[in-house]
Amino acid sequence: MQYSRKVMDHFMNPRNVGEIENPDGIGTCGNPVCGDLMTFHIKVEPQSDDLNAARISQIRFKTFGCGAAIAVASMASEMAQGKTLSEVIQMSRDDVAKSLDGLPPIKMHCSNIGVQAIQEAIKDYLKRIGRQDLAGQVKGCPKEPH
């Protein structure tokens, strides 16, 4: 598999691996049937429902998947760290792929689900603080990953 140096770097030394005790939100995307699964834990500060004020203060992930999936999760976690929720909601899969200096075409769809998984965690956070209405507006993980 031809991966960029950046992909290999994040694959070999993934950033922000793990889980958070008492997270403010948990998001999962993918499933083991497709061969890629990601789970993100986030902490949000300040605990606000103002998407432009609340920021991801801490982020951790775990991934079952190929080299690309691990690199995507790691890169997406770095990109989301410290950003406001509204900034993360606007992030796209292409942003992650670009930051990794590209992904092989076949990996663009299935493995590139880091952003969606983090957005799922944001949805979870918004639900926990009672803003189902806002949670409903966040795209998150598609039901059919293929």
Catalytic residues: 34, 110
Among 23, 25, 27, 65, binds another protein (CB under 8 A): 65
Secondary structure (3-state) at 65: coil
Among 54, 63, 97, 140, binds another protein (CB under 8 A): 63
Among 64, 81, 87, 99, binds another protein (CB under 8 A): 64
Could you give the CA distance from residue 88 to residue 121 in angstroms, rounded to a whole number?
A: 11
- Least separation in angstroms between residue 65's CB and another protein is 5
According to the binding rule CB under 8 A, does residue 116 interact with another protein? no
Exposure string for 83-113, b = 16+ CB within 10 A, e = fewer: bbbeebbebebeebbeebeebeeebeebbbb
- Give, in degrees to the nearest 5, the angle at Cα 25 between 23 and 115: 125
- Least separation in angstroms between residue 47's CB and another protein is 25
According to the binding rule CB under 8 A, does residue 33 interact with another protein? yes
Among 62, 83, 128, 131, binds another protein (CB under 8 A): 62
Question: Does residue 140 contact residue 99 with C-beta atoms inside 8 Å?
Answer: no
Token couple for 7: 């992909």
Secondary structure (3-state) at 75: helix
According to the binding rule CB under 8 A, does residue 97 interact with another protein? no
Count of residues of this chain found to bind another protein when the rule CB under 8 A is applied:
33
Q: Which residues of this protein are in contact with another protein, per CB under 8 A?
A: 1-3, 8, 11-12, 14, 17, 28, 32-39, 61-70, 106-107, 109-111, 146
